[in-house]
Chains A and B, each alone.
Chain A
Amino acid sequence: MAYPRGLMGSTRVLHGVDLMLQQGRFLGLAGPNGSGKSTLLRAIAGLEPVESGVLRVLGGSPGSAAVQRRTGYLSEDTPFPAELRLCTMLRMLGELAGLERAGLDARVAQSLSEVGLTQHAEQRIGRCSRGMLRRFGLAQAWLADPELILLDEPTAGLDAEGFEVLARLLARARAQSITVVLASHLPGDLLQHCDQLAIMLDGRIATVRPPRELIPEGGLLEVYRQARGSA
């Protein structure tokens, strides 16, 4: 995968990515900063064009409306419009996702309740703390009952209750056979939630194995060193 970069030519961001994920499985993505985790998630979400190679998501093209409608995505940051209230924003996202208007308000209330933001429903996004925004991000990712959920560092900024919310949502996803791809720097997240862990280095996938086999006592740093050494 390459990005054209003006007159300086193109920069290859991802290359040698060969990965297949079965339905209902949870894949963890780990790697140093700039290794391409977020870019891979963005490509799967249909936000970045793929210059070469084949990327199939839920049996279709990642940018297609049909696939995007079945995908939930939590981006690294939370750039929602600051002037909107949480409930308004969720309602708007529900409308855009094609949810029935009749039950939309109830669905929005339920989503906010699931992430513990019911009492903040009328609060403007610009006035929310980072942790609240992260919870809100989780709510919008789960809003339209997706079949694939992409989470980019979901625990960044979460408090203890937030961790519990995420664990609850992921447990429900597992029960519903929803596929999850989760990028994180925290070994705890990866060990707790993922079936497989892909280590990314310099835009390629160095190895894919169960996290318990891969993450030793030394943590992720040791994994990166070993992966670099074997490469």
Chain B
Amino acid sequence: MIVPAVFRWILASSLAWPLLLLHLTLLATLIHASGIAPTWMEYVQGPLSLTQWLAWNQRADGWNFVLLIVGTGLCARAAWLIERWKRHDIDWLRTRSVAPLRLHASVLLGLLCAALIWLGISAAVIETLPAPQAAFEARARVAADDAIWVDGHEPARVRIAAQGQGDALSLALIATRGAPQVRMLASWLDAPEHAVLEVATRGRLLVPLPAEGTRRVLDLRVEPEHAAALWSPMDSYVLERSEQSRLGAVRMLLHGWLLISMALCATLLCSLWMRAGIAIALVAALMLAVGTRLPLQDTLDFLRLGWLPRWPDPMLIAMTLTGCLLTPVIAGWSWVRVRRRR
């Protein structure tokens, strides 16, 4: 099916030493980064200590760097390669009876493997960052219709219709007005579990979930009396205790690989019909536009919060793999047309 020689060439050239050097330099800088100065707002975020938050944030930033460098590098490689081939630079291959389908399959496979190797190196390096144990894994979002206003005068009573089993609730609260330091309290109506947090602007309350069968009605309060806070159910999750923090790097690797795969497929197809620079710009714009809607965004947020990232959605994996299978077919078919139009 594939042309092993072309595949090996693309793979080797995509792992070239300048990219390796750049990549490792960035990672090294990241590991020794001392300039990550948290603002006082960040310091008070959630149940993490400052050290923990720094450690997790470093990991999330590390992945951001890696995805940016590896993704951009490989997409640029794909685009420039196709652009050169649209001129006569591919004659040495075409006179060897390499069918366009096999050619594009080899190129895409080479780039996908290069991405996997790069992300593997990154996962190994990021794992060496000092990291506390990931205590939780996000299981599901808390289902609620709207944000709830919690006034200092009277507690807000909320029925939590969380899907799935879990060990704790992470509630995102934003203090909107009142004292410099707002005390937020959450307690179950029918269970002794409760949580307290003091924040200046916003924070996360980590409330242990009561035993199964107990009514899940939560009382939310803020102190002092003239303070107020907003509870955002969209950013609130049911958490489950997890002891497998090392799995986080593997899950991040998979998320990153899926994203880069999608970008590579789009770049290869776009490059056939437009100049390399325009194709890269278009794919970058597309990725930015849909980036916040991709699961990777949530995954990075989870990492920042010290939670174990989730496995990628099977549907996303299936869609990406389908895209990877279809891209060489479409590219091979388009290639003939592009050559004729040239």
Interface residues of A (CB under 8 A from B): 3-4, 6, 42, 45-47, 49, 64-65, 68-69, 71, 73, 75, 77, 79-81, 83-84, 91-93, 95-97, 140
Given A4-B340, A6-B341: A79 in contact with B89 (beta carbons within 8 A): yes
Instruction: Give A140 to B98 CA distance when docked, in angstroms.
Output: 16
Is B94 interfacial (CB-CB < 8 Å)? yes
Complex contact B94–A96 (CB within 8 A): no
Query: Nearest-CB distance from A183 to chain B (Å)?
Result: 15
Given A75-B88, A96-B3: A68 in contact with B96 (beta carbons within 8 A): yes
Known: A69-B97, A95-B5; 13 extra A-B contacts, CB below 8 A, are A4-B340, A6-B341, A46-B94, A46-B95, A68-B97, A69-B96, A77-B88, A81-B9, A84-B9, A95-B4, A96-B5, A96-B93, A140-B92
Complex contact A75–B91 (CB within 8 A): yes
Query: Nearest-CB distance from B187 to chain A (Å)?
Result: 64
Complex contact B3–A47 (CB within 8 A): no
Residue of B nearest to A49 (CB): B340
Query: Nearest-CB distance from B98 to chain A (Å)?
Result: 6
Query: Nearest-CB distance from B13 to chain A (Å)?
Result: 5
* Chain A residues within an 8 Å CB radius of B93: 96
**Residue from B8, B89, B97, B339 having most chain A Cβ neighbours under 10 A:** B97
Instruction: Give A53 to B12 CA distance when docked, in angstroms.
Output: 43
Residue of A nearest to B16 (CB): A83
Query: Nearest-CB distance from B274 to chain A (Å)?
Result: 14
**Residue from B87, B90, B91, B98 having most chain A Cβ neighbours under 10 A:** B91
Is B84 interfacial (CB-CB < 8 Å)? yes
Complex contact B97–A65 (CB within 8 A): yes
Complex contact A96–B91 (CB within 8 A): no
Instruction: Give A93 to B9 CA distance when docked, in angstroms.
Output: 11
Query: Nearest-CB distance from A147 to chain B (Å)?
Result: 14
Interface residues of B (CB under 8 A from A): 3-6, 8-9, 12-13, 16, 84, 87-98, 339-342
Instruction: Give A65 to B100 CA distance when docked, in angstroms.
Output: 13
Given A4-B340, A46-B94: A81 in contact with B4 (beta carbons within 8 A): no
Given A84-B9, A95-B4: A45 in contact with B95 (beta carbons within 8 A): yes
Given A4-B340, A75-B88, A79-B89: A92 in contact with B94 (beta carbons within 8 A): no
Select one of A3, A6, A45, A96 contacting B98, CB under 8 A: A96
Query: Nearest-CB distance from B160 to chain A (Å)?
Result: 58
* Chain B residues within an 8 Å CB radius of A3: 342
Residue of B nearest to A51 (CB): B340
Complex contact B92–A79 (CB within 8 A): yes
* Chain B residues within an 8 Å CB radius of A79: 84, 87-92
Instruction: Give A47 to B339 CA distance when docked, in angstroms.
Output: 10
Query: Nearest-CB distance from B205 to chain A (Å)?
Result: 55
Complex contact B96–A47 (CB within 8 A): no
Complex contact B95–A4 (CB within 8 A): no
Given A6-B341, A65-B97, A95-B4: A80 in contact with B92 (beta carbons within 8 A): yes
In the A-B complex, the 4 residue pairs with the closest CB atoms: A65-B97, A79-B89, A96-B96, A92-B5
* Chain B residues within an 8 Å CB radius of A140: 92
Query: Nearest-CB distance from B114 to chain A (Å)?
Result: 13
Instruction: Give A6 to B337 CA distance when docked, in angstroms.
Output: 11
* Chain A residues within an 8 Å CB radius of B89: 79
Instruction: Give A81 to B8 CA distance when docked, in angstroms.
Output: 13
Query: Nearest-CB distance from B83 to chain A (Å)?
Result: 12
Instruction: Give A33 to B153 CA distance when docked, in angstroms.
Output: 90
Instruction: Give A81 to B88 CA distance when docked, in angstroms.
Output: 12
Instruction: Give A140 to B96 CA distance when docked, in angstroms.
Output: 11
Residue of B nearest to A38 (CB): B88
Query: Nearest-CB distance from B123 to chain A (Å)?
Result: 26
Instruction: Give A77 to B90 CA distance when docked, in angstroms.
Output: 11
Instruction: Give A49 to B340 CA distance when docked, in angstroms.
Output: 8
Instruction: Give A91 to B5 CA distance when docked, in angstroms.
Output: 9
Complex contact B91–A73 (CB within 8 A): yes
Complex contact B95–A92 (CB within 8 A): no
